[in-house]
Amino acid sequence: MKRISLTQYLVEEQRLNNNIPAELRLLIEVVARACKTISHAVGKGALGEVLGSAETENIQGEVQKKLDILSNEILLEANEWGGHLAAMASEEMESIHLIPNRYPKGEYMLLFDPLDGSSNIDINVTIGTIFSVLKAPEGMGTPTEQDFLQPGSKQVAAGYAIYGPQTMLILTTGQGVNCFTLDREMGSWVLTQRHMQIPAETQEYAINASNARHWYPPVSRYINELLAGTEGPRGKNFNTRWIAAMVTDVHRILNRGGIFMYPADAREPDKAGKLRLMYEANPMAMLVEQAGGAATNGKQRILDIQPEKLHQRVAVFLGSKSEVERVTSYHESQ
């Protein structure tokens, strides 16, 4: 097999589609390098003293794990000096992070969930990093939170790294989705899957069913129909998978099809769900759409949502198109 590195892929993609200018290539390579460092820390576990709680809280009121903080620092440090960014934002930081004055500024803005699936860290189960890239608005001065509030359809790149039995980088720059596997001995990312496509037919779904009693009627209806199996309106049996790390559930769906749901529910009626729009739902929605799937909040396409706040939450239904369309239509007929 001829090995194509991430760098070669990015250079050739630029020649072909003219959509990865040098600064964006640098950005992607720097993010990939940071993910390599995170992957190394994840792999060390207790030996690297990276497990356990940091006993601090983030802006969402969630207790931070040591690895949440470490991953955030790794991404910030790696991306500060290259001159490709105007600013960064993260799940783990209340406000946006400006590029220090000693470094040149670029035209891109990077958002990330440095460590997704934090509850899996201490039990040695797959976790990941999610990232989203936006362009700074024309004529922007010192970046503000407002400059980040662009709909997901404006993302110029999005992706995630998954730290599992293998470490992989799944990337889109708007021309399909490609997968790179980290060659741990060589320290390089190698293209291993081109143009990932979500299978249209699926018998798998992902939802945290412990919240069933709080679900709204469209979600209950959809799930009850799946649960009814061959005797129900769907006429086939479905299977559940829930890994408690969106990265890992989405990765399965990209490869094997299925639907992932984190709906809003009646527990906290004012809360639009659990997941965050700008650095969880948007990048995943772009990847899923680029792989032929769909992503909605039950009512509208996630990528069309105009964000109002950096840490805004959103309901998420994503994966195989026909399933997402079905559950979305149940919301419309409400």
φ, ψ at 27 (rounded to 5°): -55, -50
CB 49, min distance to ligand AHG, A: 20
Give, as ranges, the residues between 43 and 102 that touch Mn ion (CB under 5 A): 91
Can residue 249 be called a binding residue for Mn ion (CB under 5 A)?
no
Q: From the list ligand AHG, Mn ion, none, which binds 245 (C-beta under 5 to 8 Å, kind-based)?
A: ligand AHG
CB 274, min distance to ligand AHG, A: 6
DSSP 278: I
Give, as ranges, the residues between 128 and 187 that touch ligand AHG (CB under 6 A): none
The sign of the CA dihedral 216, 118, 151, 97 is: positive
Closer residue to ligand AHG (CB): 106 or 114? 114
Can residue 113 be called a binding residue for Mn ion (CB under 5 A)?
yes
Task: Report the residue from 116, 147, 204, 249 that binds Mn ion according to the rule CB under 5 A.
Answer: 116
Q: Give burial (CB, 10 Å; 0-12/13-18/19+) of 326.
A: middle
Q: From the list ligand AHG, Mn ion, none, which binds 78 (C-beta under 5 to 8 Å, kind-based)?
A: none
- 321 to each of 157, 257, 273, 275, how far by Cα in Å? 21, 9, 21, 20
Can residue 13 be called a binding residue for Mn ion (CB under 5 A)?
no
Instruction: Tell me how far apart the alpha carbons of residues 162 and 32 are, in angstroms, rounded to a whole number.
Output: 11
CB 207, min distance to ligand AHG, A: 9
Closer residue to Mn ion (CB): 6 or 253? 253
Can residue 282 be called a binding residue for ligand AHG (CB under 6 A)?
no
Closer residue to ligand AHG (CB): 170 or 246? 246
Closer residue to ligand AHG (CB): 210 or 333? 210
Strands across the sheet with 97-98, in order?
97-98, 85-90, 108-116, 127-135, 157-163, 167-172, 177-183, 188-193
Residue 265 neighbours by CB under 8 Å, 6+ apart = 211, 214, 215, 216, 219
Can residue 328 be called a binding residue for ligand AHG (CB under 6 A)?
no
Closer residue to ligand AHG (CB): 70 or 246? 246
The sign of the CA dihedral 49, 51, 52, 58 is: positive
Closer residue to ligand AHG (CB): 126 or 178? 126
Task: Report the residue from 74, 89, 116, 327 that binds ligand AHG according to the rule CB under 6 A.
Answer: 116
Asked whether the beta carbons of 199 and 320 are under 8 A apart, the reply is yes
Q: How many CB atoms lie within 10 A of CB 21?
A: 14
Asked whether the beta carbons of 147 and 159 are under 8 A apart, the reply is no
CB 62, min distance to ligand AHG, A: 6
Task: Report the residue from 87, 112, 117, 295 that binds ligand AHG according to the rule CB under 6 A.
Answer: 117
Can residue 244 be called a binding residue for ligand AHG (CB under 6 A)?
yes
β-bridge pairing 53-57 and 188-193:
unpaired
CB 132, min distance to ligand AHG, A: 14
Q: Which residue is nearest to ligand AHG (CB)?
A: 246
Can residue 113 be called a binding residue for ligand AHG (CB under 6 A)?
yes
- Strand-pairing partners, residue 316, are 262
β-bridge pairing 204-206 and 239-240:
parallel
Most distant CA pair in the chain: distance in Å? 66
Binding-site size for ligand AHG (CB under 6 A) equals 12
Contacting positions for ligand AHG (CB under 6 A): 62, 91, 113, 116-119, 208, 244-246, 274
